[in-house]
Amino acid sequence: MGNDAIKDRGVRGLQVPRKLSLLGGLDPTRSIYQFEDFIGDHIAEDSAIVVNQSGTALTAAAISEAAGFPIEGHGGWITGKTDDVDAEIDEVALGAKPWLNPSALKAGQLVVCEIAFVVPTALTARQYFVGLSDDETEGTATNGALNIASGITISAVAADAAGFIMSSLATDNDAWYSAAAKATVVGTALNLATSSEGPVNIGPAVVDDYTKLRVEVDVLGNCWFYGIVSATGQREVEPTFGDFQAAAITADIVYLPLFTAAPTTTTGVEWDIDYMYGGVVGAA
């Protein structure tokens, strides 16, 4: 697919709680997905979720019926709070190791990552990354797979990643920026709160507003970015198209969905996640 492609070609009406239909009968080689709704306490078990809290977390990651505000509907939540040390990071990965390979896609298929969450308490002194990365654990003092330490300049800890950044150190300190890195070479951050390429802007971030962000990738590493920040607090809200970046990541390596939070000063950062989804969708 070339650069002349229609930019907004995302998955329409993705219903993450609904099992994907596998073409040609039950053939797991044709489609794959993982959906974590945080209903069961999978954190302490051998599960699809890997949580890394560097330093000494102020709140250990845990399933919570009180997380998410206002009440968002059915489904569970996971919550936590980072250490109060600059750049000590909390990472929540969907998968023990990366497992989604864009180069293995068939015609018409996309790798999809969608994560729904709220930013609780405050928007200051923090960085979040939400999207696809090539490593489940970027490690201590990293600020996330992709981050912004000043202006709109992307810093890449991951060699390859695509997703959304919110950074208190960015030019617009409450905006969601689309961002990608390919073999450590970073792209251009787009402020989706003011300059979305779609029908409406995405964001800015608002404390306790339900937020749903999605990245789609095709066989060439082209990336589509979708999102919504909804004051209505309903998990059924549908993300809208915001940005397209051509050949933005390396196609022939594996990725996993990743959510990270890190402080930019000596104040811990809270986070509440409703669900995480990753998979291959579309015709096989």
pLDDT digits (tens, 9 = 90+) for 260-281: 999 999 999 999 999 999 999 9
Give the separation between CA 249 and CA 107, rounded to whole angstroms: 19
pLDDT at position 45: 57
pLDDT for 213 beyond 50: yes
pLDDT digits (tens, 9 = 90+) for 77-91: 999 999 999 999 999
Give the separation between CA 43 and CA 23, rounded to whole angstroms: 32
Identity of residue 210: Y
Name every residue whose Cβ is closer than 8 Å to that of residue 279 and which is 6 or more positions away in sequence. Answer: 20, 31, 32, 33, 34, 35, 100, 111, 112
pLDDT for 203 beyond 50: yes
Say whether 194 sits in a helix, a strand or coil: helix
| Chain mean pLDDT for the chain | 87
Confidence of residue 138 (pLDDT cuts 50, 70, 90): confident
Residue ranges of the domains in the chain?
A: 51-282
Bigger pLDDT: 97 or 2? 97
Name every residue whose Cβ is closer than 8 Å to that of residue 15 and which is 6 or more positions away in sequence. Answer: none
Q: Which residue from 233, 268, 281 is spatially nearest to 59, judged by alpha carbons? A: 268
155 vs 2, 48, 145, 219, CA distance in Å? Answer: 27, 28, 8, 25
CATH of domain 51-282: 2.60.120.870
pLDDT at position 69: 67
Phi, psi of 195 (to 5 degrees): -135, 30
pLDDT at position 67: 83
Q: Which of 13-17, 23-27, 142-146 has the lowest mean pLDDT?
A: 13-17
pLDDT at position 156: 94
Beta-bridged to residue 51, according to DSSP, are: 92
pLDDT digits (tens, 9 = 90+) for 99-109: 999 999 998 99
pLDDT at position 284: 56
pLDDT for 116 beyond 90: yes
pLDDT digits (tens, 9 = 90+) for 228-266: 998 766 778 899 999 999 999 999 999 999 999 999 999
pLDDT digits (tens, 9 = 90+) for 22-65: 444 555 556 789 999 988 765 655 578 999 999 999 999 998 88
Name every residue whose Cβ is closer than 8 Å to that of residue 6 and which is 6 or more positions away in sequence. Answer: none
